[in-house]
Structure 1
Amino acid sequence: MSTVTYLGMPPFPQAAEVSTKDERLRGNLRHATHTIRDKRATAVAELADWPELRSAGARIKDHTLRHLDHYLEQLEEAVTAAGGTVHWAADAEEANRIVTRLVRDTGEREVVKVKSMATQEIGLNEALERAGIAACETDLAELIVQLGDDHPSHILVPAIHRNRGEIREIFRTRMGHWGRAAPEGLTDDPADLAEAARLHLREKFLNAKVGVSGANFMVAESGTLVVVESEGNGRMCLSLPETLISVVGIEKIVPTWRDLEVFLQLLPRSSTAERMNPYTSMWTGTTEGDGPRHFHLVLLDNGRTDILADQVGRQTLRCIRCSACLNVCPVYERAGGHAYGSPYPGPIGAILTPQLDSMATGLDASLPYASSLCGACYEVCPVAIDIPEVLVHLRERVVQGGTVTVRGQRTTVKPARGHAAERAAMRAAAWTFDHPGVLRAGERLASRARRMVPHRVPGPGRAWTDTRDLPALPPESFRDWWRRTRGPGRDAAQSRGGADGREGAAG
């Protein structure tokens, strides 16, 4: 099963209740997300064909997912022909077992890592640690998170919740435990912090025999893997070690180099607001005298084929991990990434984590509600994932239960606890809408009793009305208004030359 959620994490409402009270966290998030999204908007506006690129990206992803079996087999053949070895991992446990064995076979007890969402998803660092192997993160933000015994809170900038003073203290007190210590007299100046990280990591790069990475894309026709990044640490991890192990979700595949061109335009502008990434590293198998001598590709399922079986939820697999949805989400901006209890925070995490976990925990059942359904996430998504649609779809599963696919088997899941009142309300609403006479009578009764409706709801609904008023009821229903102003009687009056009729006015 998936290990995507952090152990001991409470449901989203409880976690968010704590994080929203942290004024420093909210200040850090507000400044960072507003800065990133403003820059992104400028970068996207430079391309007149951005809507067409977005549509092309969605179409390529949908086509690939429909024929995923074919392209994965093509990729395996191409990687093998180029000198690499392909491993298939059904779940997190199997992937961790494969990687641990491959590292042990080298005789090494330390690996350097490129920032990778897939390895965070499966808990690879923890699995390697249990096997006596140290996994050293080399992305600057991931290094900060690792040294601080922390969890990432953002897909693009995992240490977005930390300020310079906190980072200085982490480097000063923790860097020496992992390797080269921070320089004496370290300040919180960004250049000094970056230099301390560079000196620490350079030592790691030059001694590393094993590198571990993910990949942003895999090209089926050639077996090429692609990593895009901004610091150059990825290039070091991908080229210096003797053995390279890449753990990649099966949905990261694209059919051809021509398809890759579309995503290399979409991703940098949506993530870092750059026209192109400073470092775009590509490798195909192994080459004598150039780069690693041994290359292993671990293709990770871990719930992805179950998501693929869901006609509404499968669009989640289009995601290219740009984080644009996080930067516009009002819920994420206030609650922060840790409240989502997963390596995948924000709107994409609210739909991806529950599906990977098959709604197995209370946290999973709460995440589809971690949204205002404002639609801002859909508007900025470079591959047009309708996140609000998937959220509503998952909320229905939480409340009603139903048939889903779990590890390839059709399974009936029960409704989550705590939603009995919502379930009853939805059933009552469905019955009412199926009986127009009852609906009409209810609307008229509500209109006549509108002065008696309170501004606050007692009982379970109190939490909702603590921060908003109930909408005022109109004096008449829409149906009655339409019948009075547009109904058959109105048309007859107009034809007789009534005060508002066209013929009467013309006469």
Structure 2
Amino acid sequence: MSGTYLGMPAFPAAAASSTQDARLRGNLRHATHTIRDKRAKAVAELDDWARLRAAGAAVKDRTLRHLDHYLEQLEESVTAAGGQVHWAADAAEANAIVARLVRETGEREVVKVKSMATQETGLNRALAEAGISAYETDLAELIVQLGDDLPSHILVPAIHRNRGEIRDIFREQMARWGRPAPENLSDAPAELAEAARLHLREKFLTAKVAVSGANFMVADTGTLVVVESEGNGRMCLTLPETLISVVGIEKVVPTWQDLEIFLQLLPRSSTAERMNPYTSMWTGTTDGDGPRTFHLVLLDNGRTDTLADTVGRQALRCIRCSACLNVCPVYERAGGHAYGSAYPGPIGAILTPQLRGTASELDASLPYASSLCGACYEVCPVAIDIPEVLVHLRERVVQGGRVTRRGVKTVLKPAKGHAAERAAMRAAGFAFDHPGALRAGQRLAARTRRLHPRRLPGPGRAWTDTRDLPPVPAESFRDWWRRTRGEERTK
């Protein structure tokens, strides 16, 4: 059973620890720079990338505005094709549905295709508590599971591990989960891949039940789509007798024509490929071809609440490409575990606090896990303005306000620990509304600049612990303008 995000500290505390790990920072720097450089070349091949990006955002927005309609259409299409649809309001309900469906088959083992939704719900842990063993089949997820670890990247969950660490994990843990690693296994990539292939092939050929996610669901035909690079998805989606897919409700697209847009955007933004090596599509069940039983579990778990936020709902456009992680200076230094969620990096900083709320210290800290540099927005293939949502969520944390929780409108109280920030913002608001007060404050600050400390005391200490206090100029811009251009204004 892999680790859990339960009880993790707030982002600043977790990041303070992870940024001191030189090996982790080296692994992240090498991997993220390599991926983003390849992505930039792949995107540059398309003259119409900007139009594709705009089209992807438009399709997602249209779908989200009419999400109820497309979900009902999807349910009808899946049912007509021989599948069964289940609705899960939250993580606990989704996990209970999957555990029940597995028990009804009489099996106690399942193989899994990499799935962000089941990481979000903690499905592996829930299945283990129900006496069911879940085996990850994606190579990086296998590394994470064998190492009793947590994913730290959307695309490359074991990005924080190097080859030597992976070799040691295989040598020490593979035998406990199935076929052992070959003797004298080295850290050569080909040998590591072969060891994983032999270990997983045994699982593929014996498993009767598989659990998957889906990258997209096509409403008008009930087709589900999984794109991947290793072939493990194809094995899981075709060999078992029963397939259970757990998918977030925001993954639906109206038509195949809409799907075409995303099958161009996703591979170039994620793996820097023109198309994924394996694109698996299935519609219900077909006699003599693939699983005999198909279940689709549609997961809400805070998505409807997120949809009610007119600013924050754009996070639901996300197609899980991970491009924002690979350009983020904060993620590169802090790593994915510091975010305390299945969704790390910039997208996690805006998605997790909306799905889980901001009541906990961890979730309230995530909107601040950013420098607001905007690099994430520039690379997002569906144009999610992550900095805009981050500022929006920071306002929610500091000021409180109206939100929707479990479909009920409620008023959040301001989070603890932000009283000084609220006071400072009120003072700033007063100054900007009263030009005379602002001018007097600027002149006072200029005249006393030699007395200013390099570090702020009290609540401001946290700000200057990680950045220099900017020096105050000898003269404000207003005074400079009046002194140098004042005569021109009177002519």
Residue identity matched to 1:93: A
Does the residue aligned with 2:61 lie in a helix, a strand or coil?
A: helix
Does the residue aligned with 1:73 lie in a helix, a strand or coil?
A: helix
Q: What do residues 177-207 of structure 1 show as CA deviations (whole Å, max 9, x unaligned)? A: 1111111221111111111111111111111
Residue identity matched to 2:488: R
Q: 1:490 is matched with which residue: 479, 484, 488?
A: 488
The 5 Å alignment of 1:248-287 reads 248-287=247-286
CA gap 1:466/1:361 in 2 versus in 1, 3 angstroms: closer
Are 2:227 and 1:197 equivalent residues in the alignment? no
| Partner Cα separation in structure 1 for residue 407 and residue 370 of structure 2 | 29
Q: Percent identity?
A: 83
Q: What do residues 345-374 of structure 1 show as CA deviations (whole Å, max 9, x unaligned)? A: 111111111111111311001111111111
Contact 1:223 1:284 (8 Å CA) reproduced: yes
The 5 Å alignment of 1:214-363 reads 214-363=213-362
Q: What do residues 371-406 of structure 1 show as CA deviations (whole Å, max 9, x unaligned)? A: 111111111111111111111111111111111100
The 5 Å alignment of 1:11-22 reads 11-22=10-21
| Partner Cα separation in structure 2 for residue 483 and residue 58 of structure 1 | 46
Are 2:487 and 1:478 equivalent residues in the alignment? no
Number of positions where the alignment pairs a residue of Structure 1 with one of Structure 2: 489
Does the residue aligned with 1:422 lie in a helix, a strand or coil?
A: helix
Does the residue aligned with 1:136 lie in a helix, a strand or coil?
A: strand
Contact 1:221 1:256 (8 Å CA) reproduced: yes
Equivalent position of 1:145 in the other structure:
144
Moved over 6 A (4+): none
Does the residue aligned with 2:403 lie in a helix, a strand or coil?
A: strand
Residue identity matched to 1:45: A
Does the residue aligned with 2:77 lie in a helix, a strand or coil?
A: helix
Contact 2:4 2:122 (8 Å CA) reproduced: no
Contact 2:324 2:377 (8 Å CA) reproduced: yes
| Partner Cα separation in structure 2 for residue 473 and residue 101 of structure 1 | 65
| Partner Cα separation in structure 1 for residue 288 and residue 467 of structure 2 | 66
Q: What do residues 330-354 of structure 1 show as CA deviations (whole Å, max 9, x unaligned)? A: 1111111111111111111111111
| Partner Cα separation in structure 1 for residue 141 and residue 381 of structure 2 | 25
Contact 2:212 2:246 (8 Å CA) reproduced: yes
| Rg (Cα) greater in structure | 1
| Partner Cα separation in structure 2 for residue 446 and residue 24 of structure 1 | 44
Does the residue aligned with 1:226 lie in a helix, a strand or coil?
A: strand
| Partner Cα separation in structure 2 for residue 333 and residue 163 of structure 1 | 15
| Partner Cα separation in structure 2 for residue 467 and residue 393 of structure 1 | 23
Q: What do residues 401-452 of structure 1 show as CA deviations (whole Å, max 9, x unaligned)? A: 1111000001111111111111111111122222232222222322333333
Equivalent position of 2:368 in the other structure:
369
Q: What do residues 230-249 of structure 1 show as CA deviations (whole Å, max 9, x unaligned)? A: 00000000001111000000
Equivalent position of 1:431 in the other structure:
430
Q: What do residues 451-486 of structure 1 show as CA deviations (whole Å, max 9, x unaligned)? A: 333333233323433443322223333334444555
Are 2:169 and 1:170 equivalent residues in the alignment? yes
| Partner Cα separation in structure 2 for residue 406 and residue 480 of structure 1 | 50
Contact 1:5 1:342 (8 Å CA) reproduced: no
| Partner Cα separation in structure 2 for residue 76 and residue 135 of structure 1 | 27
Does the residue aligned with 1:218 lie in a helix, a strand or coil?
A: strand
Cα distance, 1:164 vs structure 2: 1.1
Root-mean-square deviation (Å): 1.4
Q: What do residues 19-64 of structure 1 show as CA deviations (whole Å, max 9, x unaligned)? A: 1111111111110001000100111111111111111111110110
| Partner Cα separation in structure 2 for residue 486 and residue 318 of structure 1 | 49
Equivalent position of 2:61 in the other structure:
62
Are 2:141 and 1:114 equivalent residues in the alignment? no
Equivalent position of 1:83 in the other structure:
82
| Partner Cα separation in structure 1 for residue 267 and residue 311 of structure 2 | 27
| Partner Cα separation in structure 1 for residue 29 and residue 172 of structure 2 | 28
Residue identity matched to 2:457: P
Contact 1:351 1:391 (8 Å CA) reproduced: yes
Are 2:131 and 1:132 equivalent residues in the alignment? yes
Contact 1:5 1:353 (8 Å CA) reproduced: no
Unaligned runs of 5+ in 2: none
Equivalent position of 2:378 in the other structure:
379
Q: What do residues 111-149 of structure 1 show as CA deviations (whole Å, max 9, x unaligned)? A: 000000000000111111111000100000000000110
Residue identity matched to 2:157: P
Contact 2:70 2:252 (8 Å CA) reproduced: yes
Residue identity matched to 2:272: A
CA gap 1:362/1:466 in 2 versus in 1, 3 angstroms: closer
What TM-score, normalized to structure 1? 0.94
| Partner Cα separation in structure 1 for residue 379 and residue 28 of structure 2 | 18
Are 2:183 and 1:184 equivalent residues in the alignment? yes
| Partner Cα separation in structure 1 for residue 356 and residue 430 of structure 2 | 33
Residue identity matched to 2:266: L
Unaligned runs of 5+ in 1: 494-507
Does the residue aligned with 2:383 lie in a helix, a strand or coil?
A: coil
Does the residue aligned with 2:37 lie in a helix, a strand or coil?
A: helix
| Partner Cα separation in structure 2 for residue 329 and residue 389 of structure 1 | 15
Cα distance, 1:298 vs structure 2: 0.4
Moved more, 84-93 or 423-432: 423-432
Q: What do residues 250-296 of structure 1 show as CA deviations (whole Å, max 9, x unaligned)? A: 00011111111110010000000101000000000111111011110
Does the residue aligned with 2:428 lie in a helix, a strand or coil?
A: helix
What TM-score, normalized to structure 2? 0.97
Equivalent position of 2:395 in the other structure:
396
Contact 2:4 2:150 (8 Å CA) reproduced: no
